Amino acid sequence: MTSNTPPDRAALVALARESIARGSKSFAMASKLFDPRTRERAWLLYAWCRKCDDIADGQDHGGTMRGVADGQARLSTIRVLTGAALHGDPTGDPAFDGFGLVMRECAIPQRYAHDLIEGFALDAREWRPRSETDMLRYCYHVAGAVGCMMAILMGVDPADEATLDRACDLGLAFQLANIARDISEDEAADRCYLPEEWLVEMDIPPGEHMKPWVRSRLAILARRLADMAAAYEQSARHGTGALPPRSAWAVLAAAGIYGGIAREVARRGEQAWDHRVATPRGEKLGWLLRAGLQVPGRARRWPAEMPRPASLWTRSRS
């Protein structure tokens, strides 16, 4: 039973800060570049995303994913608690209470929360992408929608579709990097986010993509994912001119830090899954510095009016 007492904002922020520190050192570092109010709101949004992911996959702030036998029940829990939070009702769970708070403070359209939950719904029914478009649609649901929410949280008008497209692109870049890095971990949890059409193209039989004898072909697909991630990352940079300087700094730093994951997977080739790829702290600090130097000239370097490449997937196809 939940309490009807409104949750204390400071307590929710403190717990959200702890969540991001445990769940993602990269995002925690980048979040320090925000102004204090935006930083708190980013933590609150992250904590909800992390909690939903943990509920869906049976994890604790990420880590090794294990298979779950009650995926639909877990999905129902996410839907019920999120619905209550969006309605302004205390849920008894600080991650959901904090999420409801930040959604109201920033007037973030609820459709993005529902779009994200649809990504969990795909996993709950053991969905697999058939085509590249299917994979990118999944990337939108689990990451692109979060990019849109983050942009609005940083002050972007919800009606500014052009900037939201760029924010979505950054989410897609992050998720493509995740897919490339986590192929082995996903396979261990009986999941695969590589399009079936790609596997057929490489003559990789179903369920055999982690076998040693196909590693050279898998490395080709990983490089393809890295190239796609780089294209979306570059497109996303064109939206930073619409952000306040400190928010732009955080976004550019996160783009570099997380983009490094996809680049390292591609560099390692067939050895990419022998040890989990991570961006070393020194490289993260380097990206923070580099991003700070890029902020003043970002509008000239990445003009917002430059059209997105026609080859990139768009939110309208979600």
The C-alpha atoms of residue 101 and residue 85 are separated, in whole angstroms, by: 8
Same domain, 291 and 316: yes
Task: Classify residue 144 by its DSSP letter.
Answer: I
Residues 184-217 have pLDDT tens digits of: 999 998 999 999 999 999 999 989 999 999 999 9
Joined together, the tokens standing for residue 152 give: 């609005």
Contacts of 219 (CB under 8 A, 6+ apart): 269, 270, 272
pLDDT for res 191: 92
Q: Is residue 61 part of a domain?
A: yes
Same domain, 101 and 150: no
| H helices present in the chain, as ranges | 9-23, 25-31, 36-57, 71-87, 94-106, 110-124, 132-139, 145-153, 161-181, 183-188, 196-201, 215-237, 245-268, 281-294, 298-301
Largest CA distance in the chain: 59
Same domain, 22 and 84: yes
User: Looking at the predicted structure, is the pLDDT value of residue 219 above 90?
Assistant: yes
- The domain total for the chain is 2
The pLDDT > 90 percentage for the chain reads 87
Q: Could you tell me which of 154, 147, 194 has the C-alpha nearest to residue 173?
A: 147
Same domain, 60 and 172: no
The C-alpha atoms of residue 50 and residue 23 are separated, in whole angstroms, by: 7
Residues 54-96 have pLDDT tens digits of: 999 876 655 556 666 788 999 999 999 999 999 999 999 999 9
Joined together, the tokens standing for residue 251 give: 């976004």
Same domain, 144 and 236: yes
Inter-residue contact 146 to 116 (CB < 8 Å):
yes
Q: Is residue 3 part of a domain?
A: no
Q: Is residue 90 part of a domain?
A: yes
pLDDT for res 1: 41
The C-alpha atoms of residue 240 and residue 151 are separated, in whole angstroms, by: 10
Same domain, 141 and 93: no
Task: Classify residue 274 by its DSSP letter.
Answer: T
Query: Which of 10-24, 104-118, 141-155, 212-226 is predicted with the least confidence, judged by mean pLDDT?
Result: 10-24
Average per-residue pLDDT in the chain? 93
Quick one: 245 exposed, middle or buried, by C-beta within 10 A (0-12, 13-18, 19+)?
A: middle
Same domain, 305 and 238: yes
Same domain, 259 and 308: yes
Domain that holds residue 317: 128-318
pLDDT for res 64: 59
Joined together, the tokens standing for residue 240 give: 């930073």
Q: Is residue 118 part of a domain?
A: no
Tallying the residues shown for the chain, one arrives at: 318
Same domain, 147 and 97: no
Positive or negative torsion for Cα 105, 232, 235, 17:
positive
Split at pLDDT 50, 70, 90, the class of 316 is confident
The C-alpha atoms of residue 177 and residue 263 are separated, in whole angstroms, by: 8
Q: What is the CATH number of the domain that holds 52?
A: 1.10.600.10
Same domain, 165 and 104: no
Positive or negative torsion for Cα 284, 286, 288, 229:
negative
Answer with the one of 112, 142, 162 that is the final residue of a domain.
112
Q: Is residue 123 part of a domain?
A: no
Residues 254-284 have pLDDT tens digits of: 999 999 999 999 999 999 999 999 989 999 9
Same domain, 80 and 175: no
Q: What's the predicted TM-score (pTM) here?
A: 0.93
Answer with the one of 53, 81, 112 that is the final residue of a domain.
112
Same domain, 105 and 248: no
Q: Is residue 1 part of a domain?
A: no
Q: Is residue 192 part of a domain?
A: yes
